[in-house]
Structure 1
Amino acid sequence: MSTDTVETIGLPAAAAVPGRLRAWGAQAVQGFMTHVLPPLLILGVLLIIWQMLGSRPGASLPAPSKVVQDTWELIAHPFYDRGGNDVGIAWQLLASLKRVAYGYSLAVVVGVSLGVLVGQSTWALRGLDPLFQVLRTVPPLAWLPISLAGFRDGHPSAIFVIFITSIWPIIINTSIGIRNIPEDYRNVAKVIRLNGVEYFGKIMLPAAAPFIFSGLRIGVGLSWLAIIAAEMLIGGVGIGFFIWDAWNSSRISDIILALVYVGLIGFTLDRIVAFIGRKVTRGTSAS
């Protein structure tokens, strides 16, 4: 092939590069204007209002600038460790996330299993669903004294509170998803003679996955809420205890900073579960 032919073939591809770049740039600008700019504007307005209210004489809460000034050491050095409970806010958050990981993982395994059982078996539905409906209305902190009495230790007690709080939406949503599997799917499974394991993996879980992940998203949010409340009472290292200790020491700016981190992490956990759900369900689950 001659040099002229190569150059002729290469010209369209080379000429298409600026066009692709312009298209990507336009998509990026549109995404920024649609998804990023509106919350940034709202946040900016709220911060300005907060700054104005917090800067007034006799204001009960510090202004954002005062919060940053008071908590700069925590922001700049989140991983310091002076021993005992005197550790940076990053270690406090990691301790809470570790408890959430244990409790939520147990809730996922047990909740999906019970949800499948209740969804598949009419007998199990009639026997267990009323019990689930009653237990799910018990507030998370009401379980803490029982768990402390049973485990006699704050760490497993907090994990149990997370587990018992987050399991109910997982069970309920999984059972609804199983019961709503189209009858055609069940008939196809009978025609091709799928065994129990194949039916579970190829029919049941894919069909019920959007419902399951809806429950998982609710559950992870409840897990994060439960651990914050539980740690305020059990003490030790954790963001919940950090907030309670800051209140007892009248460090309002520390509390506000902790709440910002708590909100951001809660949002991130929800987005992670939603992202996994979209991948597993190929975009059919709610985002």
Structure 2
Amino acid sequence: MSSVSINKEDIKTIMKSDQTIVKQTTAAKPAATRPGVLALKSRAFFEWMLPPVSGLLLLLAVWTLISHQSPNLPGPASTWHAATALFSDPFYVNDPNDQGIGWNILASLQRVALGFGLAALVGIPLGFVIGRFQFISRMAAPVIGILRPVSPLAWLPIGLLVFKAADPAAIWVIFISAIWPMIINTAVGVSKVPQDYMNVARVLNLSEWKIITKILFPFVLPYMMTGVRLSIGVAWLVIVAAEMLTGGVGIGFWVWDEWNNLNVEHIIIAIFVVGIVGLLLEVALTSIAQRFSYE
């Protein structure tokens, strides 16, 4: 009996020692093979940066290839040198029709801000009304269906006829083009509010103002912000075309003026400027929509 017990104790002792060795090995192994925090952050950064950088490099490669095939099209190198000279003094003023690109960008942004602001003041409340009341929704449907597909530049002669000046006509074109996404998205959001919410409001005998502020607005906010983002993109897109026809100071007029001077490098620079400014406006509104939560 004693020999058997001794053997069992020996076996237990050996098993405990083996488990201790295994634990020490497994504990030491991650410390030796685990990558550092800096290496993980560097890898995540490169994984985040690689796709957009690859896309830009591909764009430059295609642009370079096309410029070699078409001698009249400037390549990236010559356009870069022209941009360096252009932005070395972006706010010069020689005469009212000869100003730096900085003044032209600011003038276009001012028109966009006015037209977009007016569209928001009118379109968002109108969207709430259309989505809230079925009769008004049915009444507005044919009007929106007819006017929304009209090309923005088709509204420019009407603006020139009514306002007798190019600047308010351009703002009018921005207004009439940017208002539709706000109206439609806001109205759709209001129509998607669950009927249970409205039943609770009816039971509590809430006023129309409290229904809008406490029930409709929090629910409709994502739809409304989507309409705002779409509208700012449309507004910035339309202003370039409108300024080409109305003249004055603005990025659209500047593009047309550079075309008349056969300065193709500046036209390409303007294309990138318009795209970058539009992207910044989109990113700014997206950031506002993500950070602002109404609770």
TM-score (norm 2): 0.83
In structure 1, the partner of 2:242 is 230
Structure 2: how far apart are the matches of 1:154 and 1:24?
A: 57
Structure 1: how far apart are the matches of 2:203 and 2:46?
A: 50
Say if 1:23 and 1:124 are closer, same or farther in 2 by CA, change over 3 A: farther
In structure 2, the partner of 1:103 is 115
Q: Count matched residues.
A: 259
Give 1:77's match in structure 2, choosing from 65, 82, 89: 89
Say if 1:161 and 1:28 are closer, same or farther in 2 by CA, change over 3 A: farther
In structure 1, the partner of 2:279 is 267
**Bigger radius of gyration:** 2
Give 1:124's match in structure 2, choosing from 124, 136, 142: 136
In structure 1, the partner of 2:58 is 45
In structure 2, the partner of 1:147 is 159
In structure 1, the partner of 2:220 is 208
Structure 1: how far apart are the matches of 2:116 and 2:39?
A: 40
Say what the alpha-carbon RMSD is for the aligned residues: 1.8
Q: Write the mapping of 1:1-287 to structure 2, written as runs, cut at 5 A.
A: 26-27=40-41, 29-34=43-48, 36-55=49-68, 59-281=71-293
Report the Cα offset of residue 281 of structure 1.
4.2
Structure 2: how far apart are the matches of 1:212 and 1:281?
A: 13
Structure 2: how far apart are the matches of 1:227 and 1:46?
A: 26
In structure 2, the partner of 1:13 is none
The alignment partner of 1:201 has SS state of helix
Report the Cα offset of residue 82 of structure 1.
2.1
Moved over 3 A (4+): 22-29
Q: Residue type of the partner of 2:166?
A: G
Report the Cα offset of residue 29 of structure 1.
4.7
Structure 2: how far apart are the matches of 1:196 and 1:25?
A: 57
> Which stretch shifts more, 150-159 or 83-92?
83-92
Structure 1: how far apart are the matches of 2:42 and 2:290?
A: 22
The alignment partner of 1:37 has SS state of helix
Structure 2: how far apart are the matches of 1:92 and 1:225?
A: 15
Structure 1: how far apart are the matches of 2:97 and 2:37?
A: 52
Report the Cα offset of residue 76 of structure 1.
1.7
> Which stretch shifts more, 134-143 or 45-54?
45-54
In structure 2, the partner of 1:18 is none
Report the Cα offset of residue 114 of structure 1.
0.9
Q: Residue type of the partner of 1:210?
A: P
Say if 1:48 and 1:213 are closer, same or farther in 2 by CA, change over 3 A: same
Report the Cα offset of residue 32 of structure 1.
4.6
Report the Cα offset of residue 59 of structure 1.
1.8
Structure 2: how far apart are the matches of 1:279 and 1:63?
A: 40
Report the Cα offset of residue 60 of structure 1.
2.8
Report the Cα offset of residue 191 of structure 1.
3.6
> Which stretch shifts more, 179-188 or 166-175?
179-188
Gaps of 5+ in 2: 1-35
Q: What percent identity do the matched residue pairs reach?
A: 41
Say if 1:112 and 1:23 are closer, same or farther in 2 by CA, change over 3 A: farther
Q: Residue type of the partner of 1:45?
A: L
> Which stretch shifts more, 166-175 or 183-192?
183-192
Conserved in 2, the CA contact under 8 Å of 1:210 and 1:281?
A: no
Q: Residue type of the partner of 1:207?
A: F
Report the Cα offset of residue 224 of structure 1.
0.5
Structure 2: how far apart are the matches of 1:221 and 1:193?
A: 40
TM-score (norm 1): 0.85
